[in-house]
Amino acid sequence: MTKRFGERAAAVTAVDTVSFDVERGSIVGLLGPNGAGKTTLIKSILGMVLPDDGSVWIRGVDVHDDPRGAYAHVDAMLEGARNDYWRLTVRENLRYFATVSGVDPDSVVGRHERLLEALELTEKADVAVRDLSRGMKQKVSLASVLAGGAAVVFLDEPTLGLDIESSRTLQRELRRLAEKEGLTVILSSHDMDVVETVCDRVLIMSGGEVVADDTVEELLRGTDRHRVEITSRDLEPGLVSTLERGFDVGRVDRLETGFRIDVTTDSDGFYELMDRLRSEGVTLEGVRTIEPDLEDVFVDLTSREDGGTTRRDGVSP
Amino acid sequence: MTAPPDTGGTPREAGYYHLTRAVLYREYLIFVRYPANAIGGIVIALFFFGVIFYGGRMVAGQALTDSIEGIVVGYFLWTLSVGAYSSISNDIGSELQWGTLERHVMTPFGFAPVALLKGVAKIVRTFITSAIVLAVMILITGTTLALHLFTIVAIATLSIVSVLGLGLAAGGVTVLYKQIGNWLNLLQFGFIVLISAPALELTWMNVLPLAHGSALLQRAMIDGTRLWEFPPLELGLLLGVAVGYLGLGYVVFQYATRRARRLGVLGDY
């Protein structure tokens, strides 16, 4: 699939010849920095954006040729949108959205009750959504997406605004639906822990292209990105500044004497770092290797694409 | 509340009957649960009518009294038109902001049938509120009008269906250009000209929304003409204008939605 916005010289390719298959009953994480093309890709798959080239098949149905047939299997929760009617109660929303998804709500009453229970909404089932907390509203939004029994759901930042317990409940329910009911989920999130916990597979996008497509385990195994924590009393402010210019230095802690710094680098970079420290006469008092997580892999892959400027979220330079 | 038993079986497919029931029920729930909007609309409509009636009597005296039936019927049709037009165009704007329009687009039914069904609900709702306005106007002015329910409902419905088409088109423009909705609401003041068309005696205006319907409604409510007493050609024109503008509005809405999808601005409110 390819999607460009604008004309001629001003044209921007938001999605650049992206192609992938998703296995039924799997949960696929879609990651990428802002502007990577994730939302355009999702909206193109859903038909909210018409692609310039390419096609989408959902359960053997071509979305372009038979949108009604294809959309009968799909629903989505998009970030930043209410997605449901706040003046209706939780249960009324479930019934309404089941109907517009092409399912007679009377035939899925049991499913709705189980969904309400799983998402801890049973007590609020007959309360208008507008009277619920933000986290509850988020859960109602998810419940209404699952209400019609869609086989494929797209969830954009589904845990945004949820407390830890609610987020875990939601993750458990997603895994259960995928494993027991064969639900296919394409999940976009900035919360790497959620992606790492829930997803069977991860697609990482950058500059409109898919730069990685593998299981979480394989991505972690395949990365040549290491994080080391170095402690030394010989590290002084001038040297730390020099290192910050030459390496991806994350956390910097000033100690009573010296510094403790956190450097993320690949194998070659690690040797360079050690050479540099040796040439500066730095005696190492502590070197700790931190196992790379999905966030490290993400930063590694996306920074390669944009010239190494991407940094870890929440880590100050 | 006791949980209903799990139906256990395979989910059954929902057809247009289920969709109709769901959309109309939703509109009904919102109407009965949040009556403030409807009551506010009635109060404002009556306030402006009071200004026209009492202010006009002070300025024009007997001249206004002589034409009061026409004014009451015209004002009744105007409240119906504004109700149908603004509710459907504003509703599309709201759905756009809430993200529910996007969600409908990717359903097997799409948003257009939902918008049409909402239009039906808005017409029913507008009839209820405008009937109250009409009753109060008759009481205030002491006017006598022929109130043949079937004739009035048939002519008024066909008259405002054309306006519903304009509302759908305005909603389509809102999908493309977002914040333009408030400007499009100004169009409803143009309805006054269209409703006054019979008095202007310009034949070509009969193909515009409301104009011909306004003429027929005046004859029905002032002269007491029944629906079957109108020449078939006139009823055909009323029907043709209604279907034509509704169809046009539907096409504009569909085109605008498709264009918004092409430009990638469907949900970018």
Lowest-pLDDT range, A221-235, B1-15, B17-31?
B1-15
A236-253 tens-digit pLDDT? 899 999 998 888 888 889
Cβ–Cβ contact B2 with A under 8 A: no
Phi, psi of B14 (to 5 degrees): -95, 135
The overall average pLDDT reported for chain A is 85
Spatial distance between the Cα atoms of B169 and B192, rounded to a whole number of angstroms = 19
Q: How would residue A264 be classed by pLDDT, with cut points 50, 70 and 90?
A: confident
Q: What are A226's strand-pairing partners?
A: A265
Give the pLDDT confidence score for residue A91 in this predicted structure: 95
Q: How would residue B199 be classed by pLDDT, with cut points 50, 70 and 90?
A: low
Test A3 with B10 for CB contact under 8 angstroms: no
- C-alpha radius of gyration, chain A, whole number: 23
What tokens appear for B198 in the block? 């019979």
Task: Indicate if the pLDDT at residue B8 is higher than 50.
Answer: no
Q: Which residue of A has its CA nearest to B10?
A: A107
DSSP letter assigned to residue B1:
-
Spatial distance between the Cα atoms of A15 and A53, rounded to a whole number of angstroms = 10
Task: Indicate if the pLDDT at residue A125 is higher than 90.
Answer: yes
Count A/B contacts: CB-CB distance under 8 Å.
138
CA B219 to chain centre: 21
Q: Which residue of A has its CA nearest to B98?
A: A82
Task: Indicate if the pLDDT at residue B185 is higher than 80.
Answer: no
Give the pLDDT confidence score for residue B217 in this predicted structure: 93
Indicate yes or no: pTM above 0.95. Answer: no
Cβ–Cβ contact B105 with A under 8 A: yes
Task: Indicate if the pLDDT at residue B2 is higher than 70.
Answer: no
* A96 neighbors B22 (Cβ within 8 angstroms): yes
Test B106 with A82 for CB contact under 8 angstroms: no
Q: Kindly state the percentage of chain A with pLDDT values over 70.
A: 94
Task: Indicate if the pLDDT at residue A225 is higher than 90.
Answer: no
Give the pLDDT confidence score for residue B200 in this predicted structure: 63
Give the pLDDT confidence score for residue A313 in this predicted structure: 36
Spatial distance between the Cα atoms of A254 and A237, rounded to a whole number of angstroms = 9
Spatial distance between the Cα atoms of B50 and B67, rounded to a whole number of angstroms = 15
Among B38, B36, B40, B46, CA closest to B129? B38
Q: What are B70's strand-pairing partners?
A: none
Spatial distance between the Cα atoms of A298 and A306, rounded to a whole number of angstroms = 12
The overall average pLDDT reported for chain B is 85
Q: How would residue B247 be classed by pLDDT, with cut points 50, 70 and 90?
A: very high
Q: Kindly state the percentage of chain B with pLDDT values over 90.
A: 35
Q: Å from B258 to nearest chain A CA?
A: 8
Give mean pLDDT, residues B45-67: 81
Give the pLDDT confidence score for residue B47 in this predicted structure: 93
Among B244, B194, B187, CA closest to B217? B194
Among B72, B118, B46, B78, CA closest to B211? B78
Tokens 């209903």 sit at which residue?
Answer: B4
Q: Return all residues near B51 (Cβ < 8 A) that are at least 6 apart.
A: none
Contacts with A108 from chain B: Cβ below 8 Å: 7, 11
Among B265, B63, B89, CA closest to B169? B89
Q: What is the 3-state secondary structure (H, E, C) of chain A?
A: CEEEECCHHHCEEEECCCCCCCCCCCEEEEECCCCCCHHHHHHHHHCCCCCCECCCEECCEECCCCHHHHHCCEEEECCCCCCCCCCCEHHHHHHHHHHHCCECHHHHHHHHHHHHHHCCCHHHCCCEHHHCCHHHHHHHHHHHHHCCCCCEEEEECCCCCCCHHHHHHHHHHHHHHHHHHCCEEEEECCCHHHHHHHCCEEEEEECCEEEEEECHHHHHHHCCCEEEEEEECCCCHHHHHHHHHHCEEEEEEECCCCEEEEEEECHHHHHHHHHHHHHCCCCCCEEEEECCCHHHHHHHHHHHHCCCCCCCCCCCC
Among A27, A30, A26, A29, CA closest to A41? A30
Contacts with B16 from chain A: Cβ below 8 Å: none
Give mean pLDDT, residues B185-201: 78
Spatial distance between the Cα atoms of B195 and B2, rounded to a whole number of angstroms = 54
Strand A286-290 and strand A226-232: the pairing is antiparallel
Among A174, A173, A211, A169, CA closest to A37? A211
Cβ–Cβ contact B12 with A under 8 A: yes
CA angle B145, B148, B150 (to 5 degrees): 145
Q: Å from A47 to nearest chain B CA?
A: 7
Burial of B52 (0-12, 13-18, 19+ CB in 10 A): middle
Tokens 């049973």 sit at which residue?
Answer: A122
* B129 neighbors B38 (Cβ within 8 angstroms): yes
Of the CA atoms within 13 Å of residue B78, those in its CB half-sphere come to: 22
Give mean pLDDT, residues A258-274: 87
Cβ–Cβ contact B201 with A under 8 A: no
Q: How would residue B63 be classed by pLDDT, with cut points 50, 70 and 90?
A: low
- C-alpha radius of gyration, chain B, whole number: 20
Higher-confidence residue of B251 and A300: namely: B251
Q: Å from A310 to nearest chain B CA?
A: 26
Task: Indicate if the pLDDT at residue A222 is higher than 80.
Answer: no
Spatial distance between the Cα atoms of B142 and B124, rounded to a whole number of angstroms = 26
Extents of the domains making up chain A: 3-220, 224-291
A77-102 tens-digit pLDDT? 887 667 889 999 999 999 999 999 98
Test A47 with B261 for CB contact under 8 angstroms: yes
Higher-confidence residue of B264 and A25: namely: A25
Q: State how far the alpha carbon of B179 is from the alpha carbons of A128, B170, B174, in Å.
A: 28, 12, 7
Cβ–Cβ contact B32 with A under 8 A: no
Q: Å from B37 to nearest chain A CA?
A: 13
Q: Which residue of B has its CA nearest to A111?
A: B6
Give mean pLDDT, residues A114-130: 91
Task: Indicate if the pLDDT at residue A300 is higher than 80.
Answer: no
CATH number of A3-220: 3.40.50.300
Task: Indicate if the pLDDT at residue B231 is higher than 90.
Answer: yes
Task: Indicate if the pLDDT at residue B269 is higher than 70.
Answer: no
B209-218 tens-digit pLDDT? 888 999 999 9
A48-62 tens-digit pLDDT? 888 889 988 988 888
Among A9, A8, A14, A23, CA closest to A53? A14
Spatial distance between the Cα atoms of A129 and A6, rounded to a whole number of angstroms = 39
Lowest-pLDDT range, A122-126, B141-145, B192-196, B201-205?
B201-205
Q: How would residue B181 be classed by pLDDT, with cut points 50, 70 and 90?
A: low
Test A87 with B30 for CB contact under 8 angstroms: yes
Test mutation, B6, B107, B111, B258, chain A, max A CBs within 10 A:
B107
Q: Which fold has domain A224-291?
A: Alpha-Beta Plaits (3.30.70)
Coil/strand/helix, residue B269 = coil
Spatial distance between the Cα atoms of B206 and B201, rounded to a whole number of angstroms = 9
Q: Which residue of B has its CA nearest to A82?
A: B98
